[in-house]
Amino acid sequence: MTYLVVGAISASLYWLNTIWAGLSAFMPLIQALSPTYIHLIVVGWLSQFIFGVMYWMFPIVSKAQPRGNSRLAWGAFGCFNAGLPLRALREPWRALDPRPLNGMDLVLSAILQVSAAALFVWVCWPRVHERGRF
């Protein structure tokens, strides 16, 4: 829910700043929130909501481990929630100061988020593929 609230506040600030340009002393910083608020809402809130529903609602793997390997699931959660805030903090900075060094944290953020997606697929794959086909 935090990503939804922070994303909605960021979106409101961005659009208010766009409509009434010049009212804010932080106009360039607020203008740099353009892709960030979308990532917070769509990737941060919506994707985690979908992942949570998948994790809890998909068919069980076994009685011993009904949702698969919980360590991998926590790893996916940790990578995701380390990568997205890093992106949310560094993306506006990169927009304001586009030096190559400022982009390195965005690369790390992308690696963390892709790792989270791969781990989540690894956790959920045994629960979604047809048994015996692969």
Domain that holds residue 16: 2-128
Report the distance separating Cα 94 and Cα 63, nearest Å.
Answer: 48
User: Considering the domain boundaries, does residue 94 fall inside one?
Assistant: yes
User: Considering the domain boundaries, does residue 69 fall inside one?
Assistant: yes
User: Considering the domain boundaries, does residue 32 fall inside one?
Assistant: yes
User: Considering the domain boundaries, does residue 45 fall inside one?
Assistant: yes
User: Considering the domain boundaries, does residue 134 fall inside one?
Assistant: no
Q: How many domains are there within the chain?
A: 1
Instruction: State the residue for tokens 């608020």.
Output: 37
Please give the pLDDT value at position 21.
66
* Average pLDDT value for residue range 90-109: 83
Confidence check: pLDDT of 118 > 90: yes
Model confidence at 29, pLDDT cuts 50, 70, 90, reads: confident
pTM score of the predicted model: 0.76
Confidence check: pLDDT of 64 > 60: yes
* Average pLDDT value for residue range 79-96: 88
Tokens of 122: 């690894």
User: Considering the domain boundaries, does residue 92 fall inside one?
Assistant: yes
User: Considering the domain boundaries, does residue 68 fall inside one?
Assistant: yes
Confidence check: pLDDT of 32 > 90: no
User: Considering the domain boundaries, does residue 133 fall inside one?
Assistant: no
